Amino acid sequence: YWAGVSNQEAAYLLSGSLFLFTVGRFVGTALMKWISPAMLLSWFAVANVLLCAVVVLFPGMIAVFSLMAVFFFMSIMFPTIFALGVNNLGEHTKRASAFIIMSIVGGALMPPVMGLVANKSTALSFAVPLFCFAIVFYFARFKAKDPSLRVE
């Protein structure tokens, strides 16, 4: 079915994904009242690792809907990573924020890597973001151990 999807149908799927991103941002922000940002980030990263694994292992309709769900869980990632990355750095905050902003270049480097893998298998290419979400998980778990970030 998905091989014959029209541009209009694909646009609807993208619109649904962007809607999920927006909902995820609001839901994630609300959840941070009760769950520490680092812990929520780790849970959302695990969700995306699992969803990307579904995309890799089960091509077809379930993969498309899993990919759409990735948008929901990705929604809080950058602002949360940024806030956690500069937290409690004192005089080093400006330099750290500059490094985090410069690291956005990963968003320019990973798509060509994913494209190279996609030349062999589109489904397998989602192992690239799976790996990136695993790194986000590692960062979040490291930050979750910081007692200054606990929600009281």
Q: Tell me: the pLDDT tens digits for 33-72?
A: 999 999 999 999 999 999 999 999 998 889 999 999 999 9
User: What is the percent of the chain where pLDDT is above 70?
Assistant: 95
> What is the identity of the amino acid at 67?
L
> What is the identity of the amino acid at 135?
I
Which helix (H) or strand (E) segment is 101 a member of?
helix 93-102
Q: To the nearest 5 percent, what fractions of the chain are helix, strand and coil?
A: 85, 0, 15
Dihedral, 122, 127, 132, 138 alpha carbons, nearest 10: 160
DSSP letter at 36? -
- pLDDT for 44: 98
- Give the global pTM: 0.88
Asked whether the predicted pLDDT for residue 126 surpasses 90, the reply is yes
Query: What's the pLDDT tens digit per position in 69-97?
Result: 999 999 999 999 998 988 888 898 899 89
Q: Within 13 Å and on the Cβ side, how many CA atoms surround 101?
A: 6
C-alpha pair distances (Å), 118 with each of 23, 40, 54, 97, 123: 29, 31, 16, 33, 7
- pLDDT for 148: 62
DSSP letter at 91? G
Asked whether the predicted pLDDT for residue 1 surpasses 60, the reply is no
**pLDDT band per the 50, 70, 90 thresholds, residue 149:** low
Asked whether the predicted pLDDT for residue 2 surpasses 70, the reply is no
- pLDDT for 59: 83
